[in-house]
Amino acid sequence: MKHDQMSMDIDPPIKESHVTAENWRKALHKVVPAVVVLRTTACRAFDTESAGSSYATGFVVDKRRGIILTNRHVVKPGPVTAEAMFVNREEIPVYPIYRDPVHDFGFFRYDPAAIQFLSYEEIPLAPQAACVGLEIRVVGNDSGEKISILAGTLARLDRDAPHYKKDGYNDFNTFYMQAASGTRGGSSGSPVIDWQGRAVALNAGCNSSSASAFFLPLERVVRALNFLQKGKDSCQDNWEAVTIPRGTIQATFVHKGFEETRRLGLQSETEQLVRHASPLSETGMLVVDSVVPGGPAYNQLEPGDVLVCMNGEVVTQFLKMETLLDDSVGQNVKLEFERGGTSLTVQLVVEDLHSITPNYYLEVSGAVIHPLSYQQARSFRFHCGLVYVSEPGYMLYRARVPRHAIIKRLANEDISNLEDFINVLSKLSRGARVPLEYIHYKERHRTKSVLITMDRHEWYASPRIYSRDDSSGIWIGKPALRTNSQFISSGIIQLANGVAGTDISTSERVQENACADGVVTADVEDSASPGDTVAIDDHDTSADSSNASVAERVIEPALVRLEVYVPSSCMVDGVYAQHYSGTGVIIFHSEDMGLVAVDKNTVVISASDVMLSFAAFSIEIPGEVVFLHPVHNFAIISYDPSALGPAGHSVVRAAKLLPEPALRRGESVYLVGLSRSLQATSRKSVVTNPFSDLKISSADSPRYRATNMEVIKIDTDFGSSFSGVLTDEHGRVKALWASFATQVKYGSNSYEDQLVRGIPIHSISQVLNKLVSGGKGPSLLINGIKRPMPLVRALEVEFSCTLLSKARSFGLSNNWIQALVKKDPIRRQVLRVKGCLAGSKAENLLEQGDMVLAVNKKPVTCFNDLEDACHALDMHDDMDAKLELTIFRQGHEMVVRVGTDIRDGNGTTRVISWCGCFVQDPHPAVRALGFLPQEGHDVYVARWSSGSPVHRYGLYAHQWIVEVNGKPTPDLDAFVNVTKEIEDGEFVRVRTVDLNGKPRVLTLKQDLHYWPTWELRFDPETATWHRKTIKSLETGDSL
């Protein structure tokens, strides 16, 4: 007998009472070696599945050809990498060769020669052996256990296909089996075996609340396997893509009992005809449940139609219906059915099911976009083939386009398929803003219109098309746009007025419109113009400001609303969100440069896209992060004043800053800010504490945390989400009312929160003076002009404030207490070392608990005293100048000379992606923990990507990579040099050290196909972020 036929043989039935424990032991002894644990990694979100890594089960159904059967949701509809581990822990790569478009089964292939140390046999498939009451065993990777054996009894063979979720995968047009075996996650794809070791069904899902498991019948599986076996035999050496005919009329049927069909209007004569032509066990008929718009059955069949015959044959079972459809692809089928008691007949064309199952996708700005699949079209009731957003990525996320959206128009052009979308995309330049219209299944009758912004910086690779190759099991990528397309060829062009663009500048357009009738306007098409300028309109605040205070009217023209977006490819420095918003204040405004001050809970990192909306003039323009204070909670953003146009430039102005005198307790101030609708809001308040010690605990993920700051408290404000400025009665700014990121913890749980406090304008004014007059740091291109940037000298030590009464208990002498009281009779405190930043010049000189009494023999009582001492060192050109600190340590007074650290305001300017993890230099929040590995500390894992190799093998964030394949990686350059030598598919040995100093060694397989190594770096010469491929399959070494 041929090998192919042996897998289908079914032994003569025997009585269940004869089955013994020994029979089961022998069956399981034969079955278990053929069951494998599958570790699958969905590299991209696609169709019904999200990107991620998971465990599942499969089993060998053809040993000679190397075929493993599992579920469709394990094989995945999109890009996937997978390994199979046998019971003896031999691990081999497996590649998808087929996933059914509808039913929950698929196949992987493997090289049988790769299994060298295990004796195993394939598991035969016996779908006919399934029957109610059959005792079964489910053998698989249940709940993460490598091999688990669960017992059960088949209770039903005609269960409806399980419904998992609205926007995910669901099987249909088939029966399922049911048993109370209580399987859990990881058991998907497990064989359901009888006592003879034959698979009678395929485990697919479960109902955890009722401990019920759902099994897929194997009839269609056997058919598909036969096609694969014949296809493999025809090509001998290599696997070639095998076509398995699958037909559809794009209609979903459900099986209803005869009682229900009668209520639907089934005639008694028809029922008798069906009963006569069907087995005695038949209990009902197939009824139309839904029809996909635009499909062959659309406007022909309706929900509630009762199917009687197909091509002249009575059809009451899914299996027979699907057999007829699969055998009639591209042909007509004749359907006879009843609708409300009326007999009808239609001829429908059977469509190729694979033709409406997407096998390619577009990746642009982190988004995954592909034709809408039959699966999702059925769930959402849309036409197949529409442009479907499987993953919004960054560009679409900025515009609030959600997952599962259907794109209908882009840049005022209709979009009916993915080719239309790519064609329009190729005409757009970087930085352009264009309208996009989409619909969503949750609000299907409402079309939403948004503005999307083409990435101005090279946050992501150029758009690419990936197509499925069933021969190799991978998805092959190629550029989606021609090299001469507008999107590829255009960079951020610096025009004469500094506005990014490719045609006339925004200011020129505004000037033309303003000359017409004195009203500056722009329609939606103009909003797509370069420079990201939208919604230009005069803003007359006289009508709604009649009741406003003088302070509000004076400061309103200087207020700005900021919308800040962080690309997922650059979420470094512990950033926990991609969107931030807040109010800033214009602190400088001239012909060639505008500067806005804002808190760092609004502008978190420099790798951001910033949009500015002005209170005095309705316009939205881009800004650039030019300075992030390394210590204080503020950032400075630049904008191009010419983008405002003459009308806007005339009404927008900088605030007047009043750093002296400092605010005092009981002094009246005005809190002024902007609502989300850009309406100025103010409230008179009283300062309750002008120098409150700010205490913010560390977050779970190290990120910027304001330290060594005295902040201002007032008696009334507008809540923790309202930011703005504190002014005097004349509208002069005394402080920035800033938002501070915090984290609230309840036991083991934590959630993000924020608080608002005032930052004295003095520190902002100091930086502004250096920035305008020219600092001592490297130059940065701002609006086409290179400007030397300021540097900040700081003592990288975190201090806390201790009351003098407590300091006395620690042994501090009365003389020092009197001296400190004389210096500052209000605060009555001493600064105490809480910790030094790792790698700082103070690290090995100051200890936790040291009290700092004086700097350069002058008593100090507050953080400002230390800052003033550091600023005094800037008067000299000695970059290594030191501070002479008088400290009190463990009962002894001593003098220590401590060096200061000089930092710029650039923040993190380099990030490298390797195998899906993002590495960077450790940012200050990490160093503030007080530990850096001795082996090397400049390769810090900031975050990781779902579906990547590091996700698959567990190389997560918040640790340092100190070795790769035994070679030290002390810094990013060394890391790049080492990883460049590693080829695709090679296993890599990585040594890491976590934040607690615990070392770990792990291995992972490099995947350059889906996860090339690349670098993002900020170029101050052009003020842009550039992406460069370090190593990929296509380019080899690019650096």
What are the tens digits of pLDDT across the range 943-966? 999 999 999 999 999 999 999 999
Adjacent-strand bridge partners of 248: 351
State pLDDT tens for residues 780-795: 999 999 999 999 999 9
CA within 13 Å, CB half, 866: 27
- Least Cα distance to 732 among 828, 639, 817, 661 occurs for 661
- Least Cα distance to 264 among 337, 321, 335, 315 occurs for 337
Write phi, then psi, for 653 (nearest 5 degrees): -150, 165
Domains by residue range for the chain, with CATH: 3-235 (2.40.10.120), 250-349 (2.30.42.10), 358-489 (2.30.42.10), 524-651 (2.40.10.10), 668-775 (2.40.10.10), 792-903 (2.30.42.10), 910-1037 (2.30.42.10)
Q: Once rounded to an integer, what is the mean pLDDT over residues 620-624?
A: 95
**In the predicted structure, residue 543 carries a pLDDT above the cut 90:** no
Band of pLDDT at residue 168, cut at 50, 70 and 90: confident
The H helix count followed by the E strand count for the chain is 22, 62
CA within 13 Å, CB half, 22: 1
The whole model's pTM is what? 0.89
Band of pLDDT at residue 542, cut at 50, 70 and 90: very low
State pLDDT tens for residues 971-1008: 999 999 999 999 999 999 999 999 999 999 999 999 99
| 166-170, 340-344, 1026-1030: least confident range | 166-170
**In the predicted structure, residue 382 carries a pLDDT above the cut 50:** yes
State pLDDT tens for residues 462-495: 999 999 999 999 999 999 998 877 776 655 443 3
- Least Cα distance to 78 among 469, 384, 382 occurs for 469
Write phi, then psi, for 1029 (nearest 5 degrees): -80, 125
Contact 694, 710 (CB under 8 A): yes
Question: So what's the pLDDT on residue 775?
Answer: 87
Contact 330, 350 (CB under 8 A): yes
- Least Cα distance to 958 among 913, 1002, 993 occurs for 993
Per-residue CA distances from 692 to 708, 718, 853 (Å)? 11, 19, 20
Tokens of 1033: 């399959």
SS3 assignment, position 1025: strand
Contact 242, 229 (CB under 8 A): no
Gyration radius of the chain's alpha carbons: 34
Question: So what's the pLDDT on residue 128?
Answer: 95
**In the predicted structure, residue 240 carries a pLDDT above the cut 90:** no
Question: So what's the pLDDT on residue 186?
Answer: 63
In angstroms, the CA 267 to CA 1004 distance is 64
Torsion of CA 169, 170, 174, 176, to 10 degrees: 110
Question: So what's the pLDDT on residue 455?
Answer: 93
Band of pLDDT at residue 163, cut at 50, 70 and 90: confident
Contact 610, 886 (CB under 8 A): no
- With a pLDDT cut of 90, the percent of the chain lying above it is 81
SS3 assignment, position 74: helix
- Catalytic residue positions, numbered: 73, 104, 187
Residue 583 burial (C-beta neighbours within 10 Å; 0-12, 13-18, 19+): buried
SS3 assignment, position 665: coil
Tokens of 789: 């940037």
